[in-house]
Amino acid sequence: MRKIGIISISLIILLVLIYVLVRPNPEIISVNLISETAEITYTDIESIRIFDDAIRTAKKVRGAVDVGPPTYRMNVTYADTEVVKYSLYIDFKTEDGFLIKDSDSEKMLKLKDRSSKELTDLLSKVNTE
């Protein structure tokens, strides 16, 4: 009887682990950016990939968050119609970037160097047009 219990618990843990590892990430369908001077919505595959990579690979910064107004307000719309709001901070000179999720404003997320570079390149196109 004890052996069946251990096998059952092991099977449940295995199924949960498989679900967590295999479940798909929610698909982004659009990203809307709002600054003091402009508003733009990205829906093309390459731009969505850049934003998705930036969000997924951002790492939490330790310490308290005390920042000024963001470079952009960012609304990310997922395929299941969920909209997640962020503050996006981008320094176009140093190509550093940070995100703060509105629903968790105590936590700042640092963008990876590659993601910051891709975002500054993408957003620079808008600033020069």
Asked if 97 and 54 count as a contact pair (C-beta separation under 8 A), the reply is yes
Please report, in tens digits, the pLDDT of each residue of the chain (129 residues total): 688 888 888 889 988 878 766 666 679 999 999 998 889 999 999 999 999 999 999 999 887 777 889 999 999 999 888 999 999 999 999 989 999 998 887 889 999 999 999 999 999 876 544
pTM of the model: 0.75
DSSP assignment of 74-109 equals EEEEETTS-EEEEEEEEETTTTEEEEEEGGGTT-EE
Q: How many CB atoms lie within 10 A of CB 109?
A: 18
| Domain 25-128 part of CATH 2.60.40.4400 | yes
Burial 83-108 (b: 16+ CB within 10 A, else e): eeebbbbbeeeebebbbbbeeeeeeb
